[in-house]
Structure 1
Amino acid sequence: MSEHNTNQGSAVRHRHRTEGPQKHVIAFIFSIVLTLIAFAAVAAGGVNASFTIILLVVMAVLQVLVQLGYWMHLKDKGHMIPILFMAFGFFVAGTAVITALYWVWW
């Protein structure tokens, strides 16, 4: 008899579902498209400056979400604590920026 009792017959096997490269390729293409849209908005000289800034901010937020979700794997189960810490960090940083702006202009 072997020293390792694996008990494979009655045990339920839980395999970690690996995701294939398809989702990473799609996320990479989406990141490239977002970058190209941002470059095109800046390269087009006739576009309104305020629209360009808003578009760049939207593209940046989408890029961050793609990066965090797919490359940092925060879309997977078991990542709630890092997400909460990052949300708290964004809250603290946003509060600091708003406080600094209020302090400077008023």
Structure 2
Amino acid sequence: MAAEQHTRDHGVKRRHRQEGPQKHILIFILSAVLTLIAFAAVAAGEVNVAFAVILLLVMAVIQVFVQLGYWMHLKDKGHMMPIIFILGGFLIAGTCIIMAMYWVWWE
């Protein structure tokens, strides 16, 4: 039964589309390049500190989207609940960070 294809009301058989290894290899290379760019920005001593921090934050955000979208398969259909829970976690974590910063600097 698990190997059989599911049929719809119209009798049309549909297959689950599988991704090939090519896309995974490209995403792995993209992740490695993003990591190397961030490492190179820190390893180079002549880079402005503000530019390095901004570059690291941008690389981190891009890396998060790549990791969640491709390695955690959140780009696929039917993954709305994990996306909602992850966004809820970001909202709670962001609120805690903002409140902690406010609490530390509040006079």
TM-score normalised by L of structure 1? 0.88
CA distance in 1, matches of 2:105, 2:54: 22
Tell which structure's C-alpha radius of gyration is larger: 1
CA distance in 1, matches of 2:11, 2:44: 62
Q: Calculate percent identity across the aligned residue pairs.
A: 69
TM-score normalised by L of structure 2? 0.87
Q: Relative contact order: is structure 1 or structure 2 higher (C-alpha 8 Å, sep ≥ 6)? A: 1
Q: Which contiguous aligned blocks of 4+ residues in structure 1 show a shift greater than 2 angstroms?
A: none
User: 1:11 Cα shift?
Assistant: 2.4
Q: Which amino acid aligns with 1:27?
A: I
Partner of 2:66: 66
Partner of 2:4: none
SS in structure 2 opposite 1:13? Answer: coil
Gaps of 5+ in 1: 1-7
Gaps of 5+ in 2: 1-6
Pair 1:44-2:26 in alignment: no
1:1-106 map, 5 Å: 11-106=11-106
